[in-house]
Amino acid sequence: MSYVAIKGGAEAIRYSKDFFHSELDDAKSISDQSLVKGLRYACDRVMSEGALYTETLAAEAIRKTGGDLLEAAFYVRAHRSTCQRIGSAEPIDTNQLRIKRRISSAFKDIKGGQILGPSCDYVIRLFSSLKSSDNTEAPLFEETDIPNIRVESALTPLRRDDRVAMLENEEQSPFDVTRSFPLPPYPRSAVMQIMARGETGSLLAFGYTSMRGYGDVHPTIGDLRLGEADILFTHPFTGNRVKIGSIRVTACETVGSFNPDPKDGKLRLAVGYGFCFGFNETKAISMSVLDLAMSHKGYSVGGQAIAANPEIVVHHVDAIESMGFTNHFKLPHYVTFQADLQVLNNARKNNDDR
């Protein structure tokens, strides 16, 4: 009987997979380039949560999963685990980004100006009436018009004036979360890495808990920038410093409250930082809010709140882990449930005998 059940199950699974792929047949006609250009923000989320910058594979993952971004990120993360590591690139200086968008809600006038760039912030969320294809207007903006803008952070003048609290670097080298999971007390580099590849919605939810009332972080965005960063690498054979490519990134610095600095007692502002692959402002802002809550507990009366607890944040923002555990409940748990039923029956019998 068990042999028949196994064979029958295998055949059913095979048909289930075929059924799933047949549902997505129309997606095969969509090219990778169309997805990369037309669904850019979806590809950016998949690369960020999959922790691998690869536009082509992100597009393929979206097509293979029918647009399920969690599953698509799973594909990318799984592929990442098979990639060979040949070294580490130089740290990115976000002051050297080729800016496409850069704003500050803390200052009206900033060096380099407010660069609105590409954003849906100024779009009315209403469906416009369909227009005929022969009545399309010429675009007002061409991407070739973008100059190479590089500008320092809007918070740099405050740092020069010693008005921003600087965190002590207690790590000799950054923790690598791809090799092992950190243990408490969690190094800041590990927490930042986990958040950088965390799920946008999870980071938003945890960050929002502090903004809404389970904490008191209600920050001002000091500098939010989207742009392209050059990746510099020391060639393993020649030893020469070379550029191996460029990536789209989002970086955000949020300013919190001020308090006496534990180092010398001077009043300084607390600043949180967020950074991620691709253009994803919500994720970068949420990450900076969480960094502010976790790294500057003395600056907040909500120091014991959810958003300020690294133990909660680092274990719950990775969508691939949480999705995998949640979906594993769909697997057979026959023996487990039969044991639960047996316990229930025994408990009911003992209760009736009283």
What are the domain boundaries of the chain? 2-80, 94-118+146-317, 328-354
- Sequence-distant (6+) residues with CB within 8 A of 41 are 278, 279, 280
Residue 213: which pLDDT band, with cuts at 50, 70 and 90?
A: confident
- pLDDT tens profile 10-23: 888 999 999 999 99
pLDDT, residue 2, reads 41
pLDDT, residue 10, reads 86
Asked whether the predicted pLDDT for residue 175 surpasses 80, the reply is yes
Query: What b/e string do you get for 314-334 counting C-beta neighbours within 10 Å, with b at 16 or more?
Result: bebbbbbebbeeeeeeeeeee
Residue with tokens 């100024």: 122
pLDDT, residue 148, reads 79
Average pLDDT over residues 101-105: 97
Asked whether the predicted pLDDT for residue 131 surpasses 70, the reply is no
- pLDDT tens profile 267-290: 999 999 999 999 999 999 999 999
- What's the first-to-final CA gap in the chain, in angstroms? 41
Question: DSSP letters of 265-277?
Answer: --EEEEEEEEEEE
Residue 50: which pLDDT band, with cuts at 50, 70 and 90?
A: very high
Q: Answer whether 290's CB lies under 8 Å from 313's CB.
A: yes
Asked whether the predicted pLDDT for residue 227 surpasses 70, the reply is yes
Asked whether the predicted pLDDT for residue 129 surpasses 80, the reply is no
For the record, the structure tokens of 31 come out as 């090219």
Asked if the bond preceding 182 is cis, omega within 30° of 0, the reply is: no
What separation in angstroms does the CA of 127 have from each of 37, 123, 135, 138?
21, 11, 17, 20
Average pLDDT over residues 301-305: 67
pTM (two decimals): 0.90
For the record, the structure tokens of 283 come out as 């994720």
Which residue stretches of the chain are H helix?
2-23, 32-38, 40-50, 55-64, 69-80, 156-160, 188-196, 200-212, 281-295, 310-316, 319-327, 334-353
Q: Is 241 helix (H, G, I), strand (E, B) or coil?
A: strand
Instruction: Please state, rounded to an integer, the average pLDDT across all residues of the chain.
Output: 90
- pLDDT tens profile 310-344: 999 999 999 999 999 999 999 888 899 999 999 99
pLDDT, residue 297, reads 80
